[in-house]
Chain A
Amino acid sequence: MGARERIEGAVSFLRVPRWLTLPSPSPRPSPQGEGIRGVALDQTNAPLLFQRGKRCSLSLGERARVRGNDAQNNAPAQNPAWTPDHDAPSKAFTTLGHFWPRIAQMAVVVLMLVFAIASFAEQRFPPPEFESGYALPETKTPPPRTLPFQYVDVAVLLGALVLASYLVLKKRSRNGVLALSIFSVVYFGFYRKGCVCAIGSIQNIALGLFDSSYAVPWVVTAFFIAPLAFALFAGRSFCAAVCPHGALQDLMLWKPVKVPAWLEQGLGVLPFAYLGAAVLLAATGSAFIICEYDPFVPLFRMNGSHAMLLAGVAFLLAAMFVGRPYCRFLCPYGALLRLASCVSKWRVTVTPDSCNRCRLCEEACPFGAIEEPTTAPTHWLALIGDRKRLAWLLALVPALMLAGGWFGSQLSIAASQLNPTVALAERFSLQAKTPVELGVQTAESLALMRAAQDPKALISQALEIRRNFRLGGWLFGGWLGLAVGAKLISLAVRRSRHDYEPNRASCFACARCFSSCPNERVRLGLMRRELPGSPAPQPAPAAAHTPN
């Protein structure tokens, strides 16, 4: 930071000359602010500065004198430029009426300055006219790397989705899925550096819906819509082998341990909470938390903050023993895909043949997605019990939503701190109440200086955002209550299932279980039909099947 101290001498210029010190927040950085400084400098030194040719060759002494003059001017103006007016802005947070006289005053001064600047030369040092035939170097503008990729990315995405669906539903090939996973990790991950992905696109869409000034790039829209549309027909083929995040975790899987059902179900609410929070923060224009806390993108980039790199490594280590931890317990896009997959037209089947109930597939699934056969109660007494429980739970949902909403609204003020504008307004009004000397030219003090230029606008903006957060807090909490309620209901409803089959929502369509099924192996000709001790399977067809 030695250099920073060096620059501090120069920063003494920053102090506005006394004759310019306004009673209200003194502006620095806006164009007008620049003007104030420019004029202050130019007026004291105009004759020197504008002697053509000689202007830059001021002797060091002259420069020092220029600086000295200014320093003298400024010495008494101890009040650093950013220090906001001590009472008005804090009041402005509650009453915004105090400002008009000051603003009018400022406006007059600014207007005068604008005229003053216009009458001076536009540049302090007009560009020279060279006599030696010197050609100006051109300012290079290397084109963005994304430019040629925008169509390629979407084409590859669609192609990979079609291929993944085909490999899972029709070809039923684990090796194919594996190969496609490797491709996706390499292309979407390491080559395209994981940005933009379907998971993050949720935020762009949310921001696009709530902020009409934000235009969603069509590539992002395609990344959001395509996997969901595919999930409505083919289940989570996106997760199977297209999503680089999922594929990376899947490839790391080594010795999966079984997660207890209660934990799995309990943690299963997290993605919905994360989804809600991400949408809330994106819609209010506060932050893109999915991107900020994405554990895998830093790995794809081999670059990033140490904390996130560590988180990525930790997730990968966990993924060796717990199948796809991010997908199951965090991924907000996975939450959407779950919902879509519940109503998909076709579904993943362990085998197109009938089930032997040998439970081999259950062992094969590293994600605990295969459910055992159950019979729904048929006796009326049991049915009544079930119905009653369901009725209670249905009645509980609105209560949960209300409670969640209240809870969310309580949190909303704290959450609004995540919005940079609100955070700045808070700091600004705090600074106004209890001024703290921040030293010269930290990013903080610069931000406060910017705030000081137009505190009224900043604060009303912050209040507006906070109002949005209060509403958003209710909605977020309600959503959370709904997610919990729906989870409880889904646990309470007993469905009759004849076979072992993958749960529509939680199956990642990884195709691992297929070859564990003896009937499937027979069908593929990998095994003879008659198994000792197993009931004879039905005659196996060669290839044709219809998963449904």
Chain B
Amino acid sequence: MDVKPPNPPPVSRRQFLRDGSRAAALTGLGGLLGVLGTRSTSATTVWQIDPSKCLRCDRCATHCVLEQSAVKCVHAHAICGYCQLCTGYFVPEPSELNTGAENQLCPTAAIKRTFVEDPYYEYVIDEQLCIGCAKCVEGCNRFGNGSLFLQIRHDRCVNCNECSIAQVCPGDAFRRVAVQHPYLLKTTSH
């Protein structure tokens, strides 16, 4: 059994206005849905760095919302020259071509250098150590094949609605890509 309010109004003017506005608002939302429907993607998007636009500043290391940046260096081995004197690995004037810390460009020694066969050396990034500072990327792109480049690693990235590195990237290199193809890997140098 319902309890009626003391004096149940018939359809009052206010009620009428309310119903009308609700209908209008619903229509508006429907219209919005229609407009967005033509524009929207069926997929979620994620952020990614376009390696061809990256200018190798160090903001990727410092501007991610995560304390350990989600951006890491990635190595496209297929285009690597396996150089003995890797300009992504060694500082510009290395005293010796060995793995001594003073010869390494990487501040965290995140690149592992191993001998493959004469005269080739393999370079592998340890993503646990890499901070995404782009120093090696700069060296490799400037003097080498450009097989080192930065990518957002999606096992780390929390997919911010607005990537906070994108806001400050001097190369305007960040863009949203479909979640099904979340990487922009290099297949050719430069």
8 A Cβ contacts from B26-47 to A: 26, 29, 32-33, 35-36, 39-46
Contact of A203 among B33, B44, B161 (CB under 8 A): B161
Smallest CB separation, B84 vs chain A (Å): 5
Given A139-B77, A343-B22, A145:B159 Cβ within 8 A: yes
Smallest CB separation, A17 vs chain B (Å): 14
Nearest to A196 among chain B residues (CB) is B161
Nearest to A352 among chain B residues (CB) is B3
Nearest to B185 among chain A residues (CB) is A139
> Do residues B124 and A208 form an inter-chain contact, with CB atoms below 8 A?
no
A60 to B39 CA separation, bound complex (whole angstroms): 56
Whether B79 is near chain A, meaning CB under 8 Å from some CB there, is: yes
> Do residues A303 and B65 form an inter-chain contact, with CB atoms below 8 A?
yes
> Do residues B190 and A38 form an inter-chain contact, with CB atoms below 8 A?
yes
Whether B129 is near chain A, meaning CB under 8 Å from some CB there, is: no
Residues of B within 8 A of A35 (CB): 190
Whether A279 is near chain B, meaning CB under 8 Å from some CB there, is: no
- Dominant secondary structure of chain B at its interface with chain A: loop
Smallest CB separation, B96 vs chain A (Å): 9
Smallest CB separation, A448 vs chain B (Å): 8
Residues of B within 8 A of A134 (CB): 116-117, 120, 122
Contact of B5 among A215, A345, A354, A444 (CB under 8 A): A354
Smallest CB separation, A233 vs chain B (Å): 8
Contact of A195 among B59, B105, B116, B159 (CB under 8 A): B159
> Do residues B185 and A141 form an inter-chain contact, with CB atoms below 8 A?
yes
Bits for A162-188, please: 1 = Cβ < 8 Å to B, else 0: 000000000000000000000000000
Contact of B139 among A10, A57, A138, A538 (CB under 8 A): A10
Whether B49 is near chain A, meaning CB under 8 Å from some CB there, is: no
Whether A258 is near chain B, meaning CB under 8 Å from some CB there, is: no
Interface centre among B45, B53, B94, by most A CB within 10 Å? B45
Contact of A232 among B7, B22, B41, B119 (CB under 8 A): B22
Interface centre among B84, B133, B142, B180, by most A CB within 10 Å? B142
Contact of B105 among A7, A201, A216, A291 (CB under 8 A): A7
> Do residues B33 and A225 form an inter-chain contact, with CB atoms below 8 A?
yes
Contact of A217 among B6, B45, B79 (CB under 8 A): B45
> Do residues A217 and B170 form an inter-chain contact, with CB atoms below 8 A?
no
Given A10-B139, A125-B144, A305-B65, A287:B92 Cβ within 8 A: no
> Do residues B36 and A58 form an inter-chain contact, with CB atoms below 8 A?
no
Residues of B within 8 A of A446 (CB): 55-57, 170-171
> Do residues B1 and A544 form an inter-chain contact, with CB atoms below 8 A?
yes
Interface size bracket, B side: 35 or more
Bits for B114-139, please: 1 = Cβ < 8 Å to A, else 0: 00110110101000000001010011
Smallest CB separation, B124 vs chain A (Å): 6
Interface size bracket, A side: 35 or more
Given A128-B82, A217-B43, A123:B189 Cβ within 8 A: yes
> Do residues A127 and B35 form an inter-chain contact, with CB atoms below 8 A?
no
> Do residues B170 and A450 form an inter-chain contact, with CB atoms below 8 A?
yes
A420 to B22 CA separation, bound complex (whole angstroms): 39
Nearest to A351 among chain B residues (CB) is B3
Contact of A144 among B57, B122, B159 (CB under 8 A): B159
Nearest to A420 among chain B residues (CB) is B167
Nearest to B87 among chain A residues (CB) is A10
A449 to B56 CA separation, bound complex (whole angstroms): 13
A122 to B141 CA separation, bound complex (whole angstroms): 13
A185 to B164 CA separation, bound complex (whole angstroms): 23
Smallest CB separation, B132 vs chain A (Å): 14
Smallest CB separation, A28 vs chain B (Å): 8
Nearest to B52 among chain A residues (CB) is A31
A220 to B159 CA separation, bound complex (whole angstroms): 13
> Do residues B141 and A3 form an inter-chain contact, with CB atoms below 8 A?
no
A34 to B43 CA separation, bound complex (whole angstroms): 34
Smallest CB separation, B2 vs chain A (Å): 6
Whether A443 is near chain B, meaning CB under 8 Å from some CB there, is: yes
Residues of B within 8 A of A214 (CB): 39
Residues of A within 8 A of B179 (CB): 144, 146-147, 150
> Do residues A124 and B189 form an inter-chain contact, with CB atoms below 8 A?
yes
Given A144-B182, A340-B25, A218:B40 Cβ within 8 A: yes
Residues of B within 8 A of A (CB): 1-3, 5-7, 18-19, 21-22, 25-26, 29, 32-33, 35-36, 39-46, 52-53, 55-59, 65-67, 74-85, 87, 91-94, 97, 105, 107, 116-117, 119-120, 122, 124, 133, 135, 138-139, 141-145, 153-155, 157-162, 164, 167-168, 170-172, 179-180, 182-183, 185, 188-190
Residues of A within 8 A of B (CB): 3-4, 6-7, 9-10, 13-14, 29, 31, 34-35, 37-38, 41, 53-58, 60, 63-64, 67, 122-128, 130-132, 134, 136-139, 141-147, 150, 193, 195-197, 200-201, 203-205, 208-209, 212, 214-221, 225, 228-229, 232, 287-288, 291-292, 298, 301, 303-305, 339-340, 342-345, 352-354, 420, 441-444, 446-447, 449-450, 498, 538, 540-541, 544-546
Told that A208-B40, A344-B22 touch, could you supply 13 new A-B pairs with CB distance under 8 A?
A7-B91, A56-B81, A127-B145, A150-B43, A195-B161, A214-B39, A216-B36, A225-B33, A232-B26, A287-B167, A303-B67, A354-B5, A443-B57
Q: What are 29 A-B interface contacts by the 8 Å CB criterion? A: A4-B58, A7-B135, A13-B142, A14-B142, A31-B190, A53-B119, A57-B85, A60-B94, A60-B97, A124-B144, A125-B145, A130-B120, A138-B77, A142-B153, A143-B155, A143-B182, A146-B46, A203-B161, A208-B39, A216-B39, A221-B36, A225-B32, A229-B29, A303-B65, A303-B67, A353-B3, A443-B58, A446-B56, A447-B55
- Which 6 A/B pairs are nearest by Cβ-Cβ distance? A125-B81, A447-B170, A288-B162, A56-B83, A142-B155, A443-B57
